[in-house]
Amino acid sequence: MPLLVTGLNHQTAPVDLRERLAIDAEANDAALADLLARPGVREAALLSTCNRTEIYCQLDDGEETSAGRWLAEHHGIQHGDLDGYLYRHVGDDAVAHLFRVATGLDSLVLGEPQILGQVKDAYQRARRGGGLGMGLERLFQQCFATAKRVRTDTRIGAHPVSVAFAAVRLAEQAFTEIDSATVLLIGAGDTVELAAKHLRDRHARRILIANRTLPHAQALAGQVGGYALPLEALEQHLAEADIVLSATAAREAVLTRAMLERALKARRCRPMLLLDLAVPRDIEASAAALDDVYLYGVDDLEQVVDEGLRSRRESARQAEAIIELEVAHFMAWWRGRDSHHLLRRLRDDANRRRTDALDHAQRQLASGQDPEAVMQTLAHRLTNSLLHAPSARLRDAARRGDRDLLRAAERLFSSQQSAKADPDNENDEHHHAHRTQHPSQT
């Protein structure tokens, strides 16, 4: 029963296809139930974000393409239309992929921490929906432990790797108690949105959002608990801001030196941190000459980003080494799990044969047959029953020249003879070790 992941992400598929295959939270439960109802699917979990849609599953042998076909059919797409976009990883490659996803090594922004929360959400939904058995349950638990170890043992998340993050980090350094600062954001695009969310997470005391299109500012303010302003009211509120972050698409400066001079006067020369993330610039460059103004442009922050990326790449190499070790640990458990099931089947089959032979012997004794003859028949019948199938397979292997099977059988039966195991013990080697005594102890 192979362990498998199939899906697509920002590296393999364009955004329009990722949008078509996305599974939102409201539809996840129904989609998971539909997937689990598919023949050959034993366990499954669905992970869907803006950058990836993936299926983690355990399948019956021979069903390796089943999950990919379901993904296409569920979204009304021909399976062949996904050729070249879907990836499929099996066994230890599937385990390594999940661990890399959860630690941010497979993310658009290297080392970003949000993906771990999304993986945990996918795990919880699969758990509630009955998609997790012993295999995937153990896989996700080890995944979370691995992600925690990577965060603890490396500095992969310690350095900013986006301009917005770098700007907020700089603001934190300038205002050690950012929860006491008022921040004015100008614009409502992706950069400002990302900065606003970072500021919210760091509990900025007050967030003002000014934008030319007021509904856009209101929508973002609603997400981060801020206050929306029309752009025309910008100067009216400028003196309130300890930190100003601007990233608009304007062709002319949004903040002039004269506006800032008036704001500083109203602030009684309390300093202002200005972060201009726009190209062309939103803040007149001459404002940097004002006392109590600290102006940083996008070039300054990109240098911080480049340093952060170099640091994260080094941490990523350390994380890969941790993941390689954790994958080996999981796969050792997985293979041991398979051998446990095999041993259980072998033992159950042997017990059934023993019961059949014993029942036959008891009926013979009850009919008055000679006990010595019955015991001989019992031993002969049980030996033949247990050895018939492996003997037939070994003879067939010899005819086919299957030397691997013959060597494996030789190692197995040699080990059995030397072990002198107790046939009634579930764990023969363990109990034999405890029952064996030194001659001086007998």
Residues classed as catalytic: 50
Largest CA distance in the chain: 118
Report helix, strand and coil shares of the chain as percent, to nearest 5: 60, 15, 25
Amino acid at 188: A
Rounded CA separation 408/146 (Å): 35
Going by C-alpha positions, the residue among 275, 220, 269 that lies closest to residue 244 is 275
| DSSP 8-class letter at 425 | -
Torsion angle of the four alpha carbons 398, 401, 403, 406, in this order, in degrees rounded to the nearest 10: -10
Structure letter (DSSP) for residue 439 = G
Place of tokens 């950012």: 178
Separation of alpha carbons 198 and 168, rounded Å = 7
CA dist 307 → 12, 174, 175, 286, 316 (Å): 27, 19, 22, 28, 14
Read off the tokens for 326: 């954790």
Question: CA 100 from chain center: how many Å?
Answer: 7
What is the spatial order of strands in the sheet that 41-48 belongs to? Answer: 41-48, 52-59, 3-9, 87-90
Number of H-type helices and E-type strands within the chain: 15, 10
The kind and range of the H/E element at 57 are: strand 52-59
Inter-residue long-range contacts of 418-424, CB under 8 Å, 24+ positions, other chains counted: none
Angstrom distances, CA of residue 297 to CA of 174, 284, 361: 15, 11, 93
Q: How far is CA 440 from the centre of its chain?
A: 56
Contact 326, 142 (CB under 8 A): yes
Phi and psi torsions of 387, nearest 5°: -100, -10
